[in-house]
């Protein structure tokens, strides 16, 4: 009698990791100023825990994009969804509540010159968390300063700090109400290369410690290499190319290649 050989068990397939939740979607936005068509059907997605860099030459519309995301500018077409909420339709109150979850690091830092570091850091805490954290404020300020390695500056004024230190304090102010999404507008522009690389490391540290998702606007290629999980090249108002730094570096497309020369 023929013995029946039981079929070999199918090789176990690795279960694909579930794709992380999308926290920010920019879907086909356009924005013009008169005849100047800055963004033309631009799209991107940002997933939880991810760092996406938008790379583009000066005047390509990077700051316009970031202003649309935080609701300072209204796109002519397309939609922007942040943490599940369509930005354009939100009331002032809802937009304000959403902004508490989205940290924005201005290129200019936007620190208050007449306030000490402590007062600058208390500002968002009092604005967004109100009574919740009375009594813990000093501890939260120190924690945020510790995150950026500058606890000793607590009683100093911004004018007494270096450019790199001011950038760190601006980041500490963003972290004090822990954000789910951080938008960085040119975080290393105007800094010397050594300080710029320290800021890059800090951006990675923040990503790991807070599991925050970040959109980083930059044309500093070292910053792009060191901080990005994915890069989107903004050119002629569109998402022209997308990939990891290494993928874009290997591209033979002349527009992509020009950024790596
Ligand atoms: N409020 C505005 N009114 C009119 N035009 C504007 C306005 N804001 C931006 N623009 C125009 O949109 C275009 C893109 O500007 P944007 O500031 O987004 O460039 P960018 O990519 O951030 O450049 P950079 O790298 O120099 O910061 C420019 O031509 C600019 O003149
Ligand atoms: Mg800009």
- Measure 168 CA to ligand 1 centroid, in angstroms: 26
Residue nearest to atom 31 of ligand 1 (CA): 59
- Cα end-to-end distance, the chain, whole Å: 73
- Measure 64 CA to ligand 1 centroid, in angstroms: 6
pLDDT of residue 113: 94
Domain at 48-74+90-257: CATH code: 3.40.50.300
pLDDT in tens, 17-40: 667 899 999 999 999 999 999 999
Cβ pair 43, 30 in contact under 8 A:
no
Closest Cα to residue 72, out of 99, 45, 39?
Answer: 99
Closest Cα to residue 29, out of 101, 88, 83, 98?
Answer: 88
Between these two residues, 135 and 93, which has the higher pLDDT value? 93
> What's the mean pLDDT when you consider all of the chain?
90
User: At residue 51, does pLDDT exceed 70?
Assistant: yes
Q: What are phi and psi of 125, to 5 degrees?
A: -65, -45
Q: Which ligand is nearest to the CA of 56?
A: 1
**CA distance linking residue 233 with residue 211, whole number of Å:** 24
């Amino acid at each position: 009698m023929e013995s029946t050989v039981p079929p070999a068990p199918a090789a176990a397939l690795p279960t694909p990791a579930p794709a992380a939740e999308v926290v920010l979607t920019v879907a086909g936005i356009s924005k013009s100023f008169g005849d100047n068509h800055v963004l033309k059907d631009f799209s991107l997605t940002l997933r939880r825990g991810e760092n996406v860099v938008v790379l583009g030459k000066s005047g390509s519309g990077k700051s316009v994009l970031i202003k649309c995301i935080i609701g300072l500018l209204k796109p002519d077409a397309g939609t922007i969804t942040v943490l599940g909420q369509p930005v354009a339709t939100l009331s002032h109150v809802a937009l304000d509540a959403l902004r508490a979850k989205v940290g924005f690091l201005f290129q200019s830092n936007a620190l208050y010159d007449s306030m000490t570091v402590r007062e600058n850091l208390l500002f968002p805490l009092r604005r967004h968390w109100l009574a919740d954290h009375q009594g813990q404020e000093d501890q939260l300020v120190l924690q945020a300063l510790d995150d950026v390695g500058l606890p000793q500056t607590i009683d100093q004024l911004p004018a007494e700090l270096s450019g790199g230190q001011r950038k760190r304090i601006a980041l500490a102010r963003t972290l004090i109400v822990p954000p789910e999404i951080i938008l960085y507008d040119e975080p290393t522009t105007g800094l010397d290369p050594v300080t710029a690389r320290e800021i890059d490391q800090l951006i990675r540290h923040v990503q790991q410690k807070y599991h925050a998702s970040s959109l980083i606007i930059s044309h500093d290629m070292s910053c792009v290499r060191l901080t990005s999980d994915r890069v989107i090249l903004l050119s002629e108002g569109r998402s022209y190319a997308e990939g990891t730094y290494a993928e874009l570096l290997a591209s033979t497309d002349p527009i992509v290649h020009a950024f790596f020369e």
